[in-house]
Structure 1
């Protein structure tokens, strides 16, 4: 075991010679297969100064896989966007195009009112 003190920051020193420090391992959920995902696509204008964004919610899986999906959608739509709080935001009204892309990738997609 390495002696990386940064991983143990905030721990109290133990005089027990048999003490083994155990890190809290936050396990990310495994990413479900596209066929098992139930994604919702909606047009959102709230808190965005009237600008429309296409919002994709309902993704179950790792943040890395969510970012990859967001990157794919942004590049196929040719616009900017972001991935945060488990949601993908695509700038502009691209609901239909996003739904088509997700269906092509094998995801189950529904349009939500918003």
Structure 2
């Protein structure tokens, strides 16, 4: 290749019509359930050497889930987050979380 020419990298793909880099959003319908209709489970994970307690799946509106999470974090004196229908709490505190959620009329799988 001589010094003054450009390298052509056309491989046959067309960036013209019909090609889009945008992802199509799928519409997920979330069924909102009453607290007594939930059947929650616990999971325990280690993240960066620390134990994280996961509770879910919740079928609540985002604002209701955030209110519930906020009240739980205050009563348990721990940190946490709500992501994709699951509540995450710092530490291995499953019995305390279960007790507080049962007070709010949530139910758990046996």
Query: 2:102 maps to what in 1?
Result: 103
The residue that corresponds to 1:44 in the other structure is: 45
1:28–1:61 CA contact under 8 A, matched in 2: no
Q: What is the CA–CA distance in structure 2 between the aligned matches of 1:27 and 1:51, rounded to whole Å? A: 32
Aligned length: 84
Q: Distance in 1 between matches of 2:43 and 2:74?
A: 19
Matches within 5 A, 1:5-84: 29=30, 31-45=32-46, 48-84=47-83
Unaligned runs of 5+ in 1: 1-25
**Residues 44, 52 of structure 1: 8 Å contact kept:** yes
- Where in structure 1 do 4 or more consecutive aligned residues deviate above 6 Å? none
Q: Aligned-pair distance for 1:28?
A: 6.5
- Partner deviation per Cα, 1:14-62 (whole Å, 9 max, x = no partner): xxxxxxxxxxxx79645311110111122221xx111001111110121
Question: RMSD in angstroms over aligned alpha carbons?
Answer: 2.0
Is contact 1:66-1:83 (8 Å) kept? Answer: yes
For normalisation by structure 1, the TM-score amounts to 0.65
Q: Find the aligned partners of 1:33 and 1:65 in 2 and give their Cα distance.
A: 11
Q: Report what 2:6 is aligned to.
A: none
